[in-house]
Chains A and B, each alone.
Chain A
Amino acid sequence: NAGVTQTPKFQVLKTGQSMTLQCAQDMNHEYMSWYRQDPGMGLRLIHYSVGAGITDQGEVPNGYNVSRSTTEDFPLRLLSAAPSQTSVYFCASSPREGTEAFFGQGTRLTVV
């Protein structure tokens, strides 16, 4: 059972570079979301999706884009990386509201 798969696990970027964090789930879940985790601040929502073709902004969306062309995939794009985007990123999926969210293993991103 793969669950939620994130790639890469680690990444170092230079300021101004762009990249895409990949997230895929094989549980046919409608809902997917991206969070970032910074020390002492818990996890904060970046973007979320309630189904293919539908996305919306979370608490901290600036500097990130998402798309949801299929149920399975929900990539997160960093348009022009900044040191403030150094964080651990988690992708999650869930079948419906009020249910357990299944998280990927996380991507540790460092922007220098």
Chain B
Amino acid sequence: AQKVTQAQTEISVVEKEDVTLDCVYETRDTTYYLFWYKQPPSGELVFLIRRNSFDEQNEISGRYSWNFQKSTSSFNFTITASQVVDSAVYFCALSERNKAAGNKLTFGGGTRVLVKP
């Protein structure tokens, strides 16, 4: 069975500070996909980033960056120079590379980020 753990339940920072969200996963699959989603106070789920298990290149997209390390089963996410609008709950998720699995996602418990002005 797959499992995603987000050990940080809540992080509070002051605007312009960097925020790193931790995500550790468990899976027996050799090929899988990892995601980060954002849930702002309005409640909708917003897709942020996606990573294949066979591509460990770390990237930066604007103020977002991610660090995928297959050896430690971690997929951490960083917001650089945080802004008040970044206040939200962030979810890490995992899916199998298996058509029969229907792209079903296993979510972590979420990390609430509060950015204070």
Q: Does B43 contact A (CB under 8 A)?
A: yes
The stretch of B60-68, B70-78, B99-107 in contact with A is B99-107
Contact check, A50 vs B100: say whether CB atoms are below 8 A apart: yes
Within 8 A of A (CB), among B92-117: 95-110
Interface size class of B (residues with CB under 8 A): 20 to 34
Closest to B1 in A: A59
Closest to A42 in B: B107
Contact check, B103 vs A101: say whether CB atoms are below 8 A apart: yes
Interface size class of A (residues with CB under 8 A): 20 to 34
- The contact of B95 among A49, A97, A105, by CB within 8 Å, is A97
| In the complex with contacts A50-B99, A105-B43, A40-B109 CB distance below 8 A | yes
Contact check, B103 vs A94: say whether CB atoms are below 8 A apart: yes
| A-B contacts at CB below 8 angstroms, number | 72
> With the chains together, A44 CA to B109 CA distance in Å?
10
User: Residues of B with Cβ closer than 8 Å to A?
Assistant: 4, 6, 9, 33, 35, 43-45, 47, 50, 52, 91, 95-110
- Please provide the 5 A-B residue pairs with the shortest distance between their CB atoms, ordered closest to farther: A42-B107, A103-B45, A50-B102, A98-B33, A43-B107
